[in-house]
């Protein structure tokens, strides 16, 4: 069974027929699946950016579960292993894939991105190479958070965050918050996070933001407000 998106605001639990288990695949019993902003866009609008849902689709891509069966060639995993799943299956043949930038693969098959079905199901079949064992002290819910957390970690790599880097994060939604936590783990000494919503800023403060700033929802004002925040930082030096 799986959660199928049938139309705007229309989800229905229906049978989900699994593909055959290939020699390099595993069958995973799903234990935790996050709800991403993209899932909400599909639910509310049947599209997310250029991706349009034209036929019923299983949603969900932030997930963790337990291995139920392994393919004949799988040596790295066994039944009972707790795993987090990488939701994107690349072609492994194009130049970006060969360069190690498989996230840029033009043939990417990503959970819950039309027409690929997602992981909000009892069980799924997935390549063993894209399933990663979870330590005993990491819960299934935390395992499902590995995918969104990776966004924040990668952002910190790209921005070269370190002990001498002050950080401004625009947006205190889930991705902004995990980026804030990642930046702190990378050693950022001061993190300011801005948003238009008081509750989100309150959560950010509770999670350790050094300063939170409420900005206007009027996009024409945001640039001025960001400049003011930067000026505040300079004044503190």
- Cis status of the peptide bond prior to 58, with omega within 30 of 0: no
What is the maximum span of the chain, computed from C-alpha positions, in angstroms?
Answer: 63
Q: Domain 148-236 is of which CATH architecture?
A: 3-Layer(aba) Sandwich (3.40)
Own/partner pairs, 5-11, CB within 8 angstroms, 24+ separation: 5/42, 5/43, 5/46, 5/53, 5/56, 5/57, 5/58, 5/59, 6/56, 7/46, 8/43, 8/44, 8/45, 8/46, 9/43, 9/44, 11/43, 11/59
pLDDT tens readout for residues 144-199: 999 999 999 999 999 999 999 999 999 999 999 999 999 999 999 999 999 999 99
Kindly tell me if the per-residue pLDDT of 90 is higher than 70.
Answer: yes
CB 61 within 8 A of CB 87: yes
What are the boundaries of each domain within the chain?
22-144, 148-236
**Homologous superfamily of 22-144 in CATH?**
Medium-chain alcohol dehydrogenases, catalytic domain (3.90.180.10)
Global confidence as pTM: 0.83
pLDDT tens readout for residues 14-35: 999 999 999 999 999 999 999 9
Give the pLDDT of residue 103: 87
What mean pLDDT comes out for the span 208-235?
73
- pLDDT confidence bin for 219, thresholds 50/70/90: low
CB 83 within 8 A of CB 143: yes
């Amino acid at each position: 069974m799986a959660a199928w998106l049938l139309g705007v605001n229309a989800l229905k639990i229906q049978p989900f027929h699994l593909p055959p288990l290939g020699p390099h695949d595993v069958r995973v019993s799903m234990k935790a699946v996050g709800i991403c902003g993209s899932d909400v866009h599909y639910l509310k609008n049947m599209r997310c950016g250029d991706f349009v849902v034209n036929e019923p689709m299983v949603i969900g891509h932030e997930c963790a579960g337990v291995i139920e069966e392994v393919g004949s060639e799988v040596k790295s995993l066994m039944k009972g292993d707790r795993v987090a799943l990488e939701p994107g299956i690349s072609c492994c043949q194009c130049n970006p894939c060969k360069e190690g930038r498989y996230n840029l693969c033009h043939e990417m098959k990503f959970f819950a991105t039309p027409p690929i079905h997602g992981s909000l199901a009892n069980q799924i079949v997935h390549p063993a190479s894209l399933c990663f064992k979870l330590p005993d002290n990491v819960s299934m819910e935390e395992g499902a958070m590995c995918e969104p957390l990776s966004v924040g970690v990668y952002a910190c790599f790209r921005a070269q965050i370190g002990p001498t880097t002050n950080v401004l994060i625009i947006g205190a939604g889930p991705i902004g918050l995990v980026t804030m936590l990642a930046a702190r783990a990378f050693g950022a000494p001061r993190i300011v996070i801005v948003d238009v919503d008081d509750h989100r800023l309150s959560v950010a403060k509770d999670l350790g933001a050094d300063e939170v700033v409420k900005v206007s929802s009027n996009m024409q004002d945001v640039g001025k407000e960001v400049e003011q925040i930067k000026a505040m930082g300079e004044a503190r030096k």
